[in-house]
Amino acid sequence: MNDLTIASVETTILDVPLIRPHKFATTSMSAQPLLLVAIRTSRGVIGYGEGVVPGGPWWGGESVETMQALIERYMVPILLGRRVDEITGALADIDRVVANAQFAKAAIDVAMHDAWARSLGVPVHTLLGGAFRHSIDVTWALGAAPAAEIVEEAQAKLDARMNFSFKLKMGALDPETDTRRIIEIAQALQGKAGVRVDINARWDRLTALKYLPRLAAAGVELVEQPTPGEQLEVLAEINALLPIPVMADESVLTPHDALEVVCRRAADVIAIKTTKCGGLKRSRDVVAVAKAAGISCHGATSIEGPIGTAASLHFACAESGIDFGSELFGPLLFDEELLQEPLRYAEGQLHLPEGPGLGVELNLDAVKTWTRN
């Protein structure tokens, strides 16, 4: 039997350029920082994980720099000498030393899963119960750009049959201006594609109550996290008001958060980011709560690179609770291919790769090119 003992853990920060600036409610980025975590067993098998947040610490309080420091100083000593199949025990021991830090812990979780699966010669989804599907729908995020630019990009995606659903970022502009921009886009794409919005928790209660009904009336099909994550009573009020689904993102990081959303009827859909939940294992716990309550789950993204995206894809293909599609578009936003063989996107879906572990192989020359000095 292969030796599953962890012999080394290495971290590398990359800054990967994007095909265009990606705009959030509070920031914009032209390159995505990634923390690549490599766990090597004593037999030389290497498993990879990614530490990644969407554009910096504004979202969850972590960055590639904080993740690297926490992993190298506090997590590595706990991992060395452990087996890569001891994920539950290793993460429990890490929790005793490092509070929160879900994004950093997710990188460790995924790297352990990848190394374990590669050691056994099986795909990661096998460790999660096996794939019941081999592809998933992908919504493309269009950022917070002007309406004409958004419509042009969306039409190009439709013409190429790459995506049939689009998410628009809001919250960076004056609410009235922002709402008119979205209505213009929704009307331009009416009958061609689904349109949803993500406000990244930037509106207050009165702003949300004033403008969200207008968006719903214009044909927007879903609203994601309009108000601050901790204000579940406000989210519940909005969910009861609107005739379209509300999706909780910043409000749900843990199973307890999911339970609170369920009890308050604060959302119809929960965004599951394997990054914010702390990895594959803990994401399953969050999905289980939602599934028991009949709440849908969406395979969300932190704009991961190919390693993180492949991990979330394996998770989504093995987890029936992910029943509201995905937005696992991250690698398509990158201007540099980091894999030897790219992930396959076609007909509005991302397709599960074959092979052991995550089923992908890094192009180490590309990794070296974009490694931060």
Just list the catalytic residues. Answer: 169, 327
Residue with tokens 């995924």: 110
* Under 8 Å between Cβ of 311 and 108: no
Nearest by Cα to 322 from 101, 135, 48 = 135
Helix (H, G, I), strand (E, B) or coil at 222: strand
Residue 310's closest CA among 360, 276, 346, 354? 360
Cα–Cα distance measured from residue 231 to residue 251, given in angstroms and rounded to the nearest whole number: 8
Q: Computed from CA positions of residues 185, 187, 189, 190, in that sequence, does the dihedral angle turn out positive or negative?
A: positive
Question: Residue holding tokens 């293909």?
Answer: 317
* DSSP category for residue 343: P
**What is the full DSSP assignment across 97-130?**
HS-S-HHHHHHHHHHHHHHHHHHHTSBHHHHTT-
